[in-house]
Amino acid sequence: MAAKNRSSMPSPEDVYQTTLPNGITVLARSNFNSPAVNFGGYLPAGALFETDEKLGLADFVSSMLMRGTQTRTFDAIYNELETVGASLGFDSGVHNTNFGGRALVEELPLVLTLLAESLQTPTFPEDEFERLRTQLLTGLALRAQDTSDMADMLFEKFLYADHPYGKPSDGYVETIQAITRKDLETFHRLHFGPRGMVIAIVGAIQPKKAVEAVEKFLGGWSVPGQKEAPVLPPLKPVTKTIKRHHSIPGKSQSDLVVGTLGPNRKSPDYMAASLGNSVLGQFGMMGRIGNVVREKSGLAYYAYSSLHAGVGPGSWEVNAGVNPKNLKKALDLVEKELQRFVKSGVTKEELADSQANYVGRLPLSLESNGGMASAILNIHRYDLGMDYYQRYESLVRKVTRADVLEAARKYIDPSRLVIATAGP
Backbone torsions φ then ψ of 208, nearest 5 degrees: -70, -30
Q: Which sequence spans correspond to the domains of the chain?
A: 14-218, 242-423
Helix crossing, 126-144 with 181-191: angle to 10°? 90
Distance, in Å, from the CA atom of 102 to the CA atom of 121, rounded to the nearest integer, reads: 21
Residue 348 sits at φ, ψ, to 5 deg, of: -60, -45
Q: What are the angstrom distances between the C-alpha of 272 and each of 153, 155, 175, 331, 397?
A: 27, 24, 40, 25, 10
Tell me the whole-structure pTM to 2 decimals. Answer: 0.91
Residue 283 DSSP code: H
Domain 14-218 identical in fold to domain 242-423? yes
Residuewise pLDDT in 10s, the chain (424 residues)? 444 444 688 899 999 999 999 999 999 999 999 899 999 999 999 999 999 999 999 999 999 999 999 999 999 999 999 999 999 999 999 999 999 999 999 999 999 999 999 999 999 999 999 999 999 999 999 999 999 999 999 999 999 999 999 999 999 999 999 999 999 999 999 999 999 999 999 999 999 999 999 999 999 999 998 999 888 999 989 999 999 999 999 999 999 999 999 999 999 999 999 999 999 988 766 788 888 877 777 777 888 999 999 999 999 999 999 999 999 999 999 999 999 999 999 999 999 999 999 999 999 889 999 999 999 999 999 999 999 999 999 999 999 999 999 999 999 999 999 999 999 9
CATH fold of 14-218, please? Answer: Cytochrome Bc1 Complex; Chain A, domain 1 (3.30.830)
Fold held by 242-423: Cytochrome Bc1 Complex; Chain A, domain 1 (3.30.830)
Task: Report the C-alpha gap between 6 and 332 in whole angstroms.
Answer: 45
Among 267, 247, 245, 269, residue whose Cα is nearest residue 257: 245
